[in-house]
A = this chain, B = another copy of it.
Amino acid sequence: MSEKSRYHHGNLRAALMQGATQFIRLHGAEKLSLRALAREVGVSQAAPYRHFQDKVALLSALASDGFERLGERMRATFELHQQDPQSALREVGEEYVRFALSNPEIYRLMFGMKASEFDASEMQVGHTEGYCILEQVIERGLEMGMFQQHDADMIAKTAWSMVHGYSSLLIDGVLELDETTALSQFQQMAAVWFNGVVNSR
């Protein structure tokens, strides 16, 4: 079978996902066209529908993929700092921000396609996966007596909110910082968060 012009592509699904990833990195997900993508990959306009029910199904697959990669990175970082919950929390957070900065369009997909768009269940799995890691870190910190006796859930929510919010503001260009200053400022923000804002008395 020759390299070119073979009727069956081989693994079109993967090629589509890769092509889509590359495209949205450059132009954003809302500009993605299945037809153009098919053209790019060298296949007919209807071919993608053999592998994805929908356009949003393709995007969902990308998002799902992103959750997996993010989860892995978070877990790896967590395990590096298992002995010290405080730096675990900080470093997992930084890794999260780092992921968002290097995959902005995927990150935007991961959130922002819940209710109306997508199946939701698959997305929800991605979210809870990350949340679990976060809770583990916090539980450990509480057990070791290194954290204040707040409700673990509330600590987790402030943490996630802050990290997700910071990531979003960076990605959406609201805070205009290059990656290195963004990350170093994150460290300072973590310090503020750890120590609190108001004076005790």
Contacts and interface: CB of A to CB of B under 8 A. Distances in A.
A140 interface: no
Contacts of A46: none
A192 B111 contact: no
A102 to B, nearest CB: 16
Tell me the number of copies of this protein.
2
Interface stretch (A4-12, A34-42, A70-78, A146-154): A146-154
A174 B194 CA distance: 24
A162 interface: yes
Given A195-B196, A196-B195, A162 B169 contact: no
Interface in A141-170: 141, 145-148, 150-151, 154-155, 157-158, 160-166, 168-169
B158 A161 contact: no
A86 B173 CA distance: 29
Nearest to A177: B157
A160 B112 CA distance: 19
A93 to B, nearest CB: 11
A108 interface: yes
Closest 9 CB pairs between A and B? Answer: A165-B165, A196-B196, A161-B165, A161-B166, A114-B173, A164-B165, A162-B162, A194-B198, A158-B189
Interface of A: 27-28, 30-31, 86, 108, 111-112, 114-117, 120, 127, 141, 145-148, 150-151, 154-155, 157-158, 160-166, 168-169, 172-175, 185, 188-189, 191-200
